[in-house]
A = this chain, B = another copy of it.
Amino acid sequence: VTHPTPKPPRRRDPKSTRERLVRSALDLFTSKGYHETTTPQIAARAGVAEGTIYRHFASKDLLLNELYRAGVRRLLKPVVESKGGTRDRLEAIAADWRELALRDASLARMVFDGRFTQLLDERSRTAWAELGAALESMVASGKSAGEVRAGGAGAWADFWVAVVRHVVLKVADGRWKPDDPAVRLMLDGVWRAMSAAPDALQTPANL
């Protein structure tokens, strides 16, 4: 265990160092993949030394999980904040998520890509489950209000997420604009499928 005289540290705002690492890792993980990204690459892109990663994150694995949970927390925001009828709320959430996918494609991919699922720890899985539960309870109250068709609220929530996930990833990849006709087609399609109204064609209130 030899320790040569180390180069003196470049001083920097410590908050910024962490943020740079987060951004660097998020971009690399979501573009190249977790295993394809090495810690030297993360450090280089953040403009810090490799060892600096470990002053902020206990391991590469925990770094991934922190990124993931931050993503889930971000997705939860519009779910909690949205108000009104079920369709309005779902539209608001989808709009928020699409905008997120546009502004921060990496964050959107981190949560929706499914490539990371297996690498997640217990806390991260719980965080994702809580997001799912929030959506399910929203759909459940929509059912009570007679807005959503019969069937398990969980299944309808799943259904909605499966489609919106597809939309978000397309937007994050830059292959669809947030207002692409295909986006509208899909969101209207999901609602038509879920809606209790025989004719669900009318535009939602907040569009």
CB nearest to A186 among chain B residues: B159
CB distance from A132 to the nearest CB of B (A): 13
From A1-9, A68-76, A99-107, give the one contacting chain B. Answer: A1-9
Give the residues in chain B near A12, CB-CB below 8 Å. Answer: 1-2
Give the residues in chain B near A84, CB-CB below 8 Å. Answer: none
Is the Cβ of A185 less than 8 Å from the Cβ of B3? no
Interface: A156 (CB within 8 A): yes
A165-207 CB mask vs B (1 if < 8 Å, else 0) is: 1100000000000000110011011101110001100000000
Interface: A130 (CB within 8 A): no
| A–B complex contacts, Cβ < 8 Å, 28 sampled | A1-B12, A1-B13, A1-B35, A2-B12, A2-B13, A2-B16, A3-B13, A113-B114, A115-B117, A151-B181, A152-B182, A152-B185, A155-B182, A155-B185, A155-B186, A156-B185, A158-B182, A158-B186, A159-B163, A159-B166, A159-B185, A162-B162, A162-B165, A162-B166, A189-B193, A190-B193, A192-B193, A193-B193
